[in-house]
Every structure is written in C-alpha cells, then in structure tokens.
Structure 1
Amino acid sequence: MNQNLAFNKTVTVSQKYNNKDFDPSLAVDGDHSTDLLKCSLTASGQKEAWLTVDLGEEKNIAAIAFVHGGSSTLFANGNYECDGNEAVLRDCSHSSKQCFSGKRTSLTCKEGDTLAGISVCVSETPDWRTGTLCYQHDIEQPLNNTINLDCVTSGRYVTLFNSRNETYFPDLSAFAYINICEIHIIGCDIGYYGEKCTKCPDNCLNGNCHIQIGHCFDCKDGFKDDRCEKECNKECPCTRYGPNCNASCYKHCQHKLCNPINGSCLECIKSRSGDFCEIELPAEATFDTVSLFIAATTVLLILVVVFTLYTLKRKCMSSRQALARDYDASEVKPTDSKYDTLQEADRVGTDTAAEYMEITVITG
C-alpha cells in the first residue's frame, strides 16, 4: 500500500499555543484521538496560522487526509477558540474553566468554527505560497472534522494554512487556528507509483512517473509510448520527430502532424503560416466589414461619376451660350451696317429700293 509519508516527520507551526501542550509533533504521531490535549494547536489571537510537515525529500503524493480537533475531554461542545497562550489546560477546572500556571490565570473560550477556510499546499521549499494549491475550503460550505483530499503532485513540504483577515461570517472563529490531531500524506518515493509503490518504468525520463497510473511524463531518448516501453523506429509517430522521436510536433501544426526528421509542419492551423507555423496571420475581415467597405467604395465612385458629369454639363452649356452670342453678333452687325448705308443714300437722293427689299427679306 501507499506509505503514510508524514509519520514521525518534522512539523513546524506559525506559533505554538504554549510550551507544554499541543506540540506540533502530535499531528504526526499516529494517534487519531480528537482529545484536544492529544492534538497540535497554534497560538490564539492570530489572524494567520499554518502547520507544515517536512517530508525530508521530494515525494510523489497521491492524497492527503487529516483529522481536525473539535472535541475535548475538557470542553466537549465542539470547536473552540481559547485566548491566553500561558494557559495549561490540564490544570483547568471543568466547571469554572479557570487555569493555573504558577498563578491563577483566566482562560476565556468562545464557540466558533476554526477549521473553515483552510487551505492545503504542497511545495518544494518551506515557502508554501510558491507551491501547488491542492485544496481551498469555501467558508460558506459545511465541513467535517475528517478531511480526505486527492492531491496528485510532488513536493517536500505539505502546509495547512488558515486566516481571518477581513473574513466576515457569523459562524467563524475570530482568530485563525490550526488544530490538527493527525495528518496522513499518502504517496511514494520519487520513482514509484500506485498502491504498492511499484517502480516507475525504466525508460521514464528522470525515472519519474504519474503517482496513480505509472505513465511517464516523458521518455528517454529512443523510446516512446505512455510507459516508454517501445523503441522508436526510423519513422517516428506522426506527432513526433527527431532522431529518437522524443520531440513533439509544434502545437500550431494541423492535427500536430509534422515532418519526422526536422519537425516542420505538414499543414498549419487556421491563421498560421511558416515552416513551423510560427507566423501568426492577421485576422480575416468579417463579412460585415467587407460589405461595408464595398458599399462605401461604390457610393464614392457614384459621387465621383455624378460630379464629373455635372462638371462636363456645365462646361458644355457654357460653350453653347458662348457660340450663340458669337452667332448673334455676326448676323446682326452686317444688317445694321447695311441699313445705315441706305439711310445715308436716301439723304443724298440715291435709288435704294432694291437694297431695302434685300434688308426686308433678311430681317423677315
């Protein structure tokens, strides 16, 4: 079966409740009792609290389970927050809830859900914020004291974290507590998988594989398939290339198909081009955009044609008027001139009847 990787490992907390009770090691001692004095508990009056289990080295993790303290032989009514780090609960009176630690000290306890909102993270360093978030409880959802989580990942440090920063919910405790009676971290050493911690396939790259199903994350050169058990032939699978078929075709290749030698794409997905489909093409214009462009161009051409025709018509009319004026001037002036000549002939007594007849014909 999978090992409990947390058993008797080193545990640290944000701050101990006191120096006598609730030691962090109680979270990994194998005792599942929910008696408050057999559980770890962080200090009171804190807005943030955490508990971290150091597995000693990186491990393949499949699941995490923990039991939260919520009942006590001293206070059996449920989850409590207790103010006063100097209190020693073994000396507390069940009836008066008064405590003694060299001198009489008051221990004030209030009901409130201390587990709600808890987070579980797995990291490679003590800084759990840089790790993988396996679980985050919704404070508005009910939560049992025993939590079982699937958390398929790898890491060295497993951290339970809680806070009460700007948290306004009537059933919550005012302060953050980590009150863990026992934590199990289920998994195997790196390079092993499954319920029996079977060794990963020999040809997995770096000797590691999926903790649940044993599939390799990648293969050593010259091997392929989920478990890296098949040797690569000269002809690689359609979606891989290279001398050992250990490189995947580029994601922008159509159907991830590529040349088995150099990895160039046989065809690109839409909006891509280039040997490796590395060039992103500009987005194609939509039908509406094209239609709008055509309509605008058509209107503009019509306006140009209308303006041109109007200009030509104006020029044509101006030319006709000018020709008419020239014609009138050329026809009238000789007649008037000849009429004046006849008038002058009358004054001197010359016979002008024939000329008058000619003028009459012209002007008629």
Structure 2
Amino acid sequence: MELFTCVFIVTSFVTQSLEYENLAFGKPVNVSKRYNTKNFDPSLAVDGDVSTDLLKCSLTASGEKEAWLTVDLAEVQNIASISFLHGGFGLNAMPMDPDKTKMYPVLSGNGTLQHSWNFDTNYTVCTSVFDNEDAKVVCLNWGYLPDKPVRYTVPLERNLAYSRRYYQCIGNETVLDECKSGFLNSECAYQQEKQLGISCESGDTLAGFSVYVSDTPDWKSGTLCYQHDINEPVGNNVSIDCFTTGRYVTIYNSRNGSLHSTLSSFAYINICEVNVTGCDIGHYGDECLSCPSHCVNNTCQMQAGHCFDCEDGYTGPMCEKDCTKGQYGQKCYFRCGNCLEEEPCHHINGTCISGCSPGWKGEMCDQNCDLGYFGFECNSTCNITNCVNNTSCDPISGHCTSGCFSNFSGPFCQDCIPTSYGEQCNISCSDLCQNKFCHQTTGHCFSCTGTRAGVFCENEIAIDKSTDIFDSNAGFTITSALLGVFMIVTLIYVVKRKWFSSSAQNFEQNYELPSFPKLNPEYDEIRNKSTGGEIDNNTSEYSEIAMVEANVS
C-alpha cells in the first residue's frame, strides 16, 4: 500500500460531500462472526440507515477476543475519509423496543425482570428455572453485555404474578420468544414471594479500535489507517481522514491482554452505518478530477493528484515531464545508447531515432558491430589484409587493433615501413638512400648518402682532385685573407690617428704670426693726417700712399 495521511476526528456523523461519493453504500460486508443468524445482519452497516436501534445495526458474536467488520468496495478506489456510527453496545446503547422484546427495559443494566404476555398484566419469571443463558438474552435487550450476567432475588412486588412459562435459551438469541420454551405444571414452588433480579456487565466495546485499508481480503497486510488509544475518549460518531487507495476497509478491535477497567471483557463490533467517501479510481481532489495521464494504473494521491508511480519515460510529481536528456524507461533509470551525434533517445523505449553512432547497432544502439564490420550502421567490412587478425577491426574507425604484419604500418596496415616498398612491402630500400628511407611504391630514394645520385642513388658523382684540394683549402684561405685585410686596416687607422694627434700639438706650440716691414715714417704721417681729418680728398691721399709704398718696395 502507498503512503497516506490520516487525521482522527470525533464529530457528528459524516455523510458524503457534494463532490465525493459514498463508496461503501450497498457494498458487500463481512464480519468475523455474527451474533446470530437471525438479526444483526452485517449489511445493516451499509444500508444508509443511521438509526442506532440495536436491531438496525450489525453486531458480532459474544465471547470473542477479536472482532472485525470489512466492507468490500468491489474495486480499488481513491479513499478520502472513513466514518462510522457505533451502536454504543455495552456502555451507552439504546435498549430494544419493549413492544418487540416483551421485556421492560432497565437503563442501569441492573434490575428486576418483568415481562408480559399481554399489555394488561405484568409477570416475573420463576427463579428456579431461569438460568444464566436466559439472562444473557435479557442483558442484550437492555443494551448491555451478555457475557457475565449475575442473577439474584428481591421481594416480590405487589400485584406481580409468577409466569408459568419457562425458557431454555442458548444465550445468543435476540429476544426470549426465540428461545425454546414450555409451561410449568404448577406455579413456581418454593418461591417464597421472591422476584428475579439480573445484573449485566457493562464496558466500552469501541475503545482501542483500528481501521485498515487493503487491496486484498488479508486486511492485516494492508495500510493501518488509524489506531485508537484506549486512554483517549471516543464518541459513537467517528470520522477519519484517510487519504489512500484500496478495496477493503476493515474496522477491527481486540481484547487480548487488555486490563483497562472501563473496557469490555470481550471484543465486539457494533456498527450501525459506515461511509467510505472518495472518488472512483483515476480521480482525485474535492472535485474528483482525473488523475494525470501518465500515472501508472491511472492511480494518484487522493489530495494533490501526485502519481504513486510514473509510466515508463516520465518523471515529476504528476509524471508531467519526459525523462531528462540521455535517460529513458521505468523511473527514467536507464541511460540512452550510442545515438548518432549524441542525440537523445526516445524517452519511453530508448530507441535512437536518428540512428547509431559509428561502431554501434541495434534499436537502442547498445551493441557493438558484429565481428568483421565497422562504421555507420556497421555496414562496412573489415578488410585489413595486412593486419595480424584481419577478421576484426576497430568497430568505429575500422583500424587494425591487433598490429600489422612485418614491413607494414599505418592504422589500416596499408603503408610500408619507411625502409621497405613494393605492393607487399617486401622489397628493402637501397642502402644508398639516406637513412635507407624510400618511396613505398617506387622505392625511389628521398635523398642519397655521400656522393651518390640517381633515383635509387645508383650513380657515383666524379670529383676533380685539384678542385677538391681547392675546395678543401678554400675556406681556410678566404678566412686568412679577410683576417689580414682587417689587421692592415686597423693598423692604418691607428697610425693615422696618432699622426693627427701629434700634428695638432705641434701647431699649437710652434705657430707664430709673420713679421711685416716697419712702415715708413712718411706713411705714418699720412695715416695720422687722415685720422686727424687734415686730408681733403681721397685722390690725394691714395697718391701719397702709393708713392710711399713704391719707395718702400
């Protein structure tokens, strides 16, 4: 059974709401054992009559330590609440109608016995012929427990006659008229004006009850919807909110080992009416809405509509979501296979919609290619003749996975090793090839060793010895020449720099202005005249100077 919510309420008797329906009305009812076969039919608990008249209620047999009543809802239903009306038997039950029992009620469960054969005369019974089994019927009529009646006598009341009728009850009859009976030949002997009194046992027959909901008649394996604490008070009107699913609703009680002073000695189920409110399976809530479409078996939690479980491929409280990308199936537990380009698979069955990635096959792409095949849809055949195991290859790429035969290389073993060539790579490259490497098809050398030449390095190159000598000394000669030139240039630069430095020093020390001849006194006289302003014209002055210069020269 699934998880449920249960709240116990002692309140007035609950009838079905406008939205919910009474799922128990008119349904089959079974009890542990009926009180008798004539009255207290279990079906009285689901007939819609809420009377607490003892004869209109169900009642289980006396003297039992366990008792139960089960309503079969005919199919699994979404249950919201369970309510029932207890008859109060053993503690506060309504006495039976004396018009039916011909027995005058005693409300305390302890009093004298009086009955009538007609409505005009009251009688008491002959104490000597009225035993405990007969007294049990009287206790039942009064609404008290028939288990342990106590008989006693009191003085006979005035105007009360003895009945000549006697009874032979077995104890589970409803009224005295159902017992075997007869008539005494004479009035009661040795009565000495005594009257019969009976004290009946009382006790709570409801306290300690429990309610179960189950999918099978084995109700003890179902959900315990409610368990009453015998120390807590409980009225005859009981309502329990019990949100769950199930087909069978059982009210159970036990008196195994109970020592509580207020309880009955034996277990009884005295139910007058049971209501099981809820919705048909597949519905939930106050308005009985349809359960989410992806709930397993179309069942959901009664209050919120949450699914108890989701159909394959769905998740979420109300199974409203597809499985997350990369997962599928029941509870979205399974991972998708190797779908093409990592596309998500179908969220329900896991099939790859766009096909499989290379190297995989099957509807779910969870199988490797068969031996000898590879690639997309596994439609390529492994054909690696030079692979050590040429019947299998990498299922994705088709590469050789077991290594190549000698002289072959490459992922498909289609290439020769660098030192071999030919269709079968069984011809060795020429020893004259550089590193012995050659073209894998033609065998042509990529380069030659030493002085070899030709596509196979088959030719020897002729070399002039003088040229060879020159070639061998050329480097040294050129280097020496360059070094000599460098040294000469450096020497010239140093010498020249020293020379310039020495010349500059000599010029500063030895340079003197040239001596000019002392001017003639006549020239000085002419110059003074010019300075003093005595010369009147330039022509005369220049003539005089010229003459002086001629003389000097």
SS where residue 149 of structure 1 aligns?
strand
Are 2:320 and 1:243 equivalent residues in the alignment?
Answer: no
Distance 2:171 2:228 in 1: 27
Which whole-Å deviations, capped at 9, do the CAs of 1:323-357 have from their partners, x for residues lacking one? xxxxxxxxxxxxxxxxxxxxxxxxxxxxxxxxxxx
SS where residue 203 of structure 1 aligns?
coil
Select 2:318's aligned residue among 210, 227, 237. 227
Assess if the C-alpha contact under 8 Å between 1:37 and 1:72 holds in 2: no
Which whole-Å deviations, capped at 9, do the CAs of 1:220-276 have from their partners, x for residues lacking one? 3443332233444537xxxxxx13694369xxxxxxxxxx99xxxxxxxxxxxxxxx
**Match of 2:49?**
31
**Match of 1:66?**
84
**Match of 1:141?**
232
**Match of 2:174?**
88
Are 2:215 and 1:124 equivalent residues in the alignment?
Answer: yes
Q: Who wins on radius of gyration, i.e. which is larger?
A: 2
Distance 1:161 1:139 in 2: 14
Assess if the C-alpha contact under 8 Å between 1:61 and 1:185 holds in 2: yes
Distance 1:77 1:159 in 2: 32
Amino acid at match of 1:129: K
Distance 1:10 1:205 in 2: 28
- Relative distance call for 1:108 and 1:192 in structure 2 (3 A) is farther
Assess if the C-alpha contact under 8 Å between 1:80 and 1:113 holds in 2: no
Distance 1:232 1:130 in 2: 34
* Offset, 1:86: 2.9
Residues 1-364 of structure 1 correspond to what in structure 2 (within 5 A)?
A: 1-70=19-88, 71-74=93-96, 80-83=144-147, 85-89=171-175, 99-103=176-180, 109-232=200-323, 234=325, 242-243=327-328, 246-247=331-332
* Offset, 1:132: 0.8
Amino acid at match of 1:80: Y
- Relative distance call for 1:73 and 1:80 in structure 2 (3 A) is closer
Q: Which one scores higher on RCO, CA 8 angstroms, separation ≥ 6?
A: 1
SS where residue 37 of structure 1 aligns?
helix
Assess if the C-alpha contact under 8 Å between 2:323 and 2:332 holds in 1: no
- Relative distance call for 1:48 and 1:221 in structure 2 (3 A) is closer
- Relative distance call for 1:246 and 1:16 in structure 2 (3 A) is closer
Q: Structure 1 stretches (4+) deviating beyond 4 angstroms?
A: 75-79, 104-108
Distance 2:208 2:63 in 1: 17
Structure 1 unaligned runs (5+)?
90-98, 236-241, 250-259, 262-364
SS where residue 25 of structure 1 aligns?
helix
Distance 2:181 2:201 in 1: 20
Amino acid at match of 2:328: P
Distance 1:205 1:157 in 2: 21
* Offset, 1:131: 0.9
Distance 1:171 1:233 in 2: 60
- Relative distance call for 1:247 and 1:119 in structure 2 (3 A) is same
Distance 2:314 2:234 in 1: 47
* Offset, 1:219: 2.7
* Offset, 1:47: 1.1
Which TM-score applies when normalising by structure 1? 0.59
Distance 1:196 1:144 in 2: 30
* Offset, 1:108: 7.1
Q: Which moved more, 1:40-49 or 1:69-78?
A: 69-78
Distance 1:115 1:14 in 2: 16
Amino acid at match of 1:215: H
* Offset, 1:104: 5.0
Distance 2:221 2:312 in 1: 31
SS where residue 27 of structure 1 aligns?
helix
CA RMSD in angstroms comes to 2.7
Distance 2:240 2:56 in 1: 23
Amino acid at match of 1:125: T
Which whole-Å deviations, capped at 9, do the CAs of 1:103-142 have from their partners, x for residues lacking one? 3599974211000111111112211111111111111111
Amino acid at match of 1:101: E
* Offset, 1:11: 0.6
Which TM-score applies when normalising by structure 2? 0.40
- Relative distance call for 1:36 and 1:6 in structure 2 (3 A) is same
Amino acid at match of 1:20: K
Alignment length, in residue pairs? Answer: 236
Amino acid at match of 2:173: A
Percent identity (aligned): 56
SS where residue 100 of structure 1 aligns?
helix
- Relative distance call for 1:221 and 1:125 in structure 2 (3 A) is closer
* Offset, 1:35: 1.2
**Match of 2:385?**
none
Structure 2 unaligned runs (5+)?
1-18, 97-104, 110-142, 148-169, 183-195, 335-343, 346-553
Distance 2:218 2:52 in 1: 29
